[in-house]
């Protein structure tokens, strides 16, 4: 059990460092780093504060503590993946609308230039 908690602590610290480095290098935007930092911090706290983890286990009525940690981690990841799916869907819609607008504007520009050539 202690080994599992230590591994979780290690992974949480690695994740926090990775996110901070990525933010500093502008590989990830601040608004998208917040979710990861909150999730990693929560896992770090839970893995270091055994009484808190036990309280959560009793609250959701699970048989053992490692399962509680595993479920909490999985649940957080699922929520974050869903959130990112929503963000990606919005980005794709915006991207398509922009590409169509660029194509239409280029079409108008080309038509305008052709008309100018014919008039000249």
**CB 79 → another protein: shortest distance, Å?**
21
Residue 111 near another protein by CB under 8 A: yes
Residue 104 near another protein by CB under 8 A: yes
Among residue numbers 1 through 20, which ones bind another protein (CB under 8 A)?
none
Give 70: exposed, middle or buried? Use CB within 10 Å, 0-12, 13-18, 19+: middle
Residue 49 near another protein by CB under 8 A: no
Binding range to another protein, per CB under 8 A, among 13-21, 32-40, 45-53, 97-105? 97-105
Cα angle, residue 57 at apex, residues 55 and 61 outer, rounded to 5°: 120
Q: Can you tell me the distance from the alpha carbon of 33 to that of 6, in angstroms, rounded to the nearest whole number?
A: 24
């Amino acid at each position: 059990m202690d080994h599992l908690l230590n591994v979780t602590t290690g992974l949480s610290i690695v994740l926090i460092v990775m996110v901070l480095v990525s933010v500093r290098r502008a590989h990830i935007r601040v608004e998208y780093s917040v979710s990861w930092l909150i999730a990693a911090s929560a896992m770090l706290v839970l893995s270091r504060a055994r009484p808190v983890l036990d309280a959560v286990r009793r609250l959701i009525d699970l048989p053992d503590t490692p399962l509680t940690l595993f479920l909490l981690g999985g649940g957080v990841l699922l929520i974050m993946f869903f959130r990112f799916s929503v963000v990606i869907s919005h980005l794709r819609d915006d991207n398509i609308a922009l590409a169509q607008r660029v194509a239409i504007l280029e079409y108008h520009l080309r038509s305008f230039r052709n008309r100018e050539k014919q008039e000249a």
